[in-house]
Structure 1
């Protein structure tokens, strides 16, 4: 088995050759298996489907195993990149903001929500060091996200594409609320599209159907999510993806037809919500959060009011602007980070986003011909996904959700894996 696995390369996996994928996976190290298992547990949530196995905190268990296995993993590499530097700088600022927070106990209570992503970033970047490992790890991410997309799109279809105030509900955890679920779909959609474009002529029929479903289901989930921000972000993604072709007659007509179909599927109540932007109670409260959040940033420009201190500070200083029972989070990633960590933290956070959008894969002589379509599609899709995250993040509080942190970890791992492959060929 090991001999057979050692002979397998990433090209033997395309696109979803289960036997080869499994043969290679079971021959791999404890660290690699554990980090894949962590991702599967976090995204697929099998413990909800089969409650009988919900006897341990599996995500933490597999993270611990991946950390312990890291030291015995011969393929693991502790490399450093610009993204590592920015993430460590941001981590330092967050710690300083907790130390000088308005109410430090709030920062300590929610500390793990941020620091876990730093740990996970370093584990992924250190363990996913080869193209074969990246192929499998990214496929786990893709399949788990597709599982969520398929289930929620099916629910939207079964209710007759009708409107509900809560939108669609994902699995418990980071994607349970409709807004956060829609952001995951914004990450999945461009990846799925670029996979389909790259492999539509080269895969088996059933694999092609999976890729088609992976393109359609995220769109349906976004339409059914009742999230105006995510729907606006989807339009922006489409414009970025097709801006060069949009004025070609065939492409223009295709986009027009898709837009018309999307508008027809969009529930009437959701269409009405677009006409009421800025006038309904939730929009007014969100605007008050933004306006007062900006004042909080100006009053505490260096380190903000403290990590996760927006709620207590807002409740105490702007009680007249709390339209609901109590103050909530600011519903904007930049206001969230700016009030948590000041302009110093916000500047670092924005540099992380800029690097995620501008970094390039290592290639010889500027040519990408030696890089297989799988990795180019993943790279392009992740970048467009970050754009969707940023735009949707203007309306939801997701600064410390997995979307950005997993994306930059996947980018960094892919960059290291491609560089490692080039070094072996040199």
Structure 2
């Protein structure tokens, strides 16, 4: 019974989380669609392990592909405990820790318990949910429903918190129709329609880092699959220059003067100074925001239009909050998740298309986290963990069948 409820919870998760931007806090406890459903999912998984003889599944954690990830996560737990004691705001430290361990537990329970049928359905349902979100993005554009604009030009955010996050979310799925057509060596109408829908949403998110991340991810995919296909890369730049405003936004990426005057440079410098002054242990997990006011008072030239800004860089945020060891450890965790996808791509026969699509996503995601705090946006970051877990478990099951 609990195994079935666990599977149903996965389906509910991948359907609702992309289209339900619920985000509230009860004290220091973060409450959002992903946190609530993930908690239910983990509960059912735990009940299955304890009451339905599922403890035998724990052997999956000994998989050699997971050993390095296990090591880095274990080390992060240790560093997180230290960070809690030095953090001035304990509630913020607890909140950030709960978020991170939501991803960890979700990842491991999927690796432990997901079966082949559940995995295939979960991928399909997630893609369908993202298509629904993208269709809503088109509706936003037609009826002007988005609250975000740049110079009176609407920016799509669809069902995500803001356009930056939505642009990054589109990059999770946009590579699939491209890879499918490359692998099949044929153009399929439904793939063309999906690709057009996702490109439209990516384009009118007006998020330049998402554009660059997409082009970089696509370049890596083409390099891996067939270097000759790199010749088609310029075709994906054409939509960026077709619309007058997107063309203007794209051209700013080529201006060194405008780049160096971007507010992000001030935000990055603020985070760097915080890291520099708290080099070993940082200011405490989740405590960046509680030190920010002090830094812009001490360095008024770093002030950016409002009293609180995130660093707009996930890695700098973690170096500032957890110091050199915590920051490096955090980076290695995400590198190892990416590495698992590469392992699957090199060894799988059945999941080549999904694996290569996720390689494109991981390249774009790691790149874009240098410009946005995407790893701290639960509605988005949770799928970096969940989809990687589903893919890796699919590969493990495939290997067992062949054996």
How would you bin the TM-score normalised by the shorter chain?
0.7 to 0.9
What is the aligned-residue RMSD (CA, Å)? Answer: 3.5
Q: How does 1:4-403 map to 2 (within 5 A)?
A: 29-45=4-20, 62-70=37-45, 71-72=47-48, 77-78=57-58, 79-80=60-61, 81-82=66-67, 83-128=69-114, 130-153=115-138, 155-156=140-141, 164=152, 167-171=155-159, 175-198=160-183, 208-243=188-223, 248=228, 252=231, 254-265=232-243, 267=245, 268-271=247-250, 273-274=252-253, 279=258, 284-319=262-297, 320=300, 321-359=302-340, 360-361=342-343, 368=348, 371-372=349-350, 375-402=351-378, 403=380
Query: Residues of 2 paired with 1:367 and 1:272: CA distance?
Result: 41
Query: Residues of 1 paired with 2:398 and 2:54: CA distance?
Result: 12
| Other structure's SS at 1:395 match | coil
Residue number in structure 1 paired with 2:397? 420
Query: Residues of 2 paired with 1:243 and 1:212: CA distance?
Result: 21
Query: Residues of 2 paired with 1:323 and 1:367: CA distance?
Result: 48
Question: CA 1:336 to 1:165, structure 2 compared with 1: closer, same or farther past 3 Å?
Answer: farther
Is residue 406 of structure 1 aligned with residue 397 of structure 2? Answer: no
1:117 CA drift (Å) = 1.8
Q: Which moved more, 1:270-279 or 1:103-112?
A: 270-279
Query: Residues of 2 paired with 1:120 and 1:349: CA distance?
Result: 17
Give the TM-score of the pair, scaled to structure 1: 0.76
Would you say how many aligned residue pairs link Structure 1 and Structure 2? 374
Question: CA 1:58 to 1:238, structure 2 compared with 1: closer, same or farther past 3 Å?
Answer: closer
1:66 CA drift (Å) = 2.5
Contact 1:223 1:265 in 2 (8 A): no
Contact 2:292 2:308 in 1 (8 A): yes
1:201 CA drift (Å) = 5.7
Query: Residues of 1 paired with 2:227 and 2:356: CA distance?
Result: 22
More helix by share: 2
1:178 CA drift (Å) = 0.3
Task: Structure 1: give runs of 5+ residues left out of the alignment.
Answer: 1-25, 49-55, 203-207
- Cα deviation code 1:108-135 (max 9, x no counterpart): 354433332223222322232x322211
Question: CA 1:307 to 1:238, structure 2 compared with 1: closer, same or farther past 3 Å?
Answer: same
Contact 1:121 1:406 in 2 (8 A): no
Query: Residues of 1 paired with 2:41 and 2:347: CA distance?
Result: 35
Give the TM-score of the pair, scaled to structure 2: 0.79
